[in-house]
Amino acid sequence: MNETLVGLTVPDFSLPGTGGVFRLGAHHGRAVVLYFYPKDATPGCSTEAAQFRDRHGAFAEAGCAVFGISRDGLKSHDSFRSKLGLPFHLLSDTDELACRLFNAIKLKKLYGKEVRGIERCTFLIDGNGVVRSEWRSVKADGHAEAVLSAIRAWQ
- Over residues 62-76, the pLDDT tens digits come to 999 999 999 999 999
Query: Ramachandran region of residue 7, left (φ > 0), alpha (ψ -120 to 50) or beta?
Result: left
CB environment 20-38: b (16+ within 10 A), e (fewer): eebebeebeeebbbbbbbb
Q: Is the pTM of this model over 0.85?
A: yes
How far is Cα 53 from Cα 73, in angstroms, rounded to an integer?
20
pLDDT tens-digit readout, 97-150: 999 999 999 887 778 888 888 999 999 999 999 999 999 999 999 999 999 999
Domain boundaries, the chain: 14-154
| Residues in the chain, total | 155
Question: At 1, is the pLDDT very low, low, confident or very high (cuts 50, 70, 90)?
Answer: very low
Homologous superfamily of 14-154:
Glutaredoxin (3.40.30.10)
Which whole number is the average pLDDT over 73-97? 97
Q: Backbone phi, then psi, for 94, in 5-degree steps?
A: -65, -25
The pairing of strands 64-70 and 31-36 is parallel
Handedness of CA 103, 106, 97, 81 (dihedral sign): negative
pLDDT tens-digit readout, 16-63: 999 999 999 999 999 999 999 999 999 999 999 999 999 999 999 999
Active site residues: 45
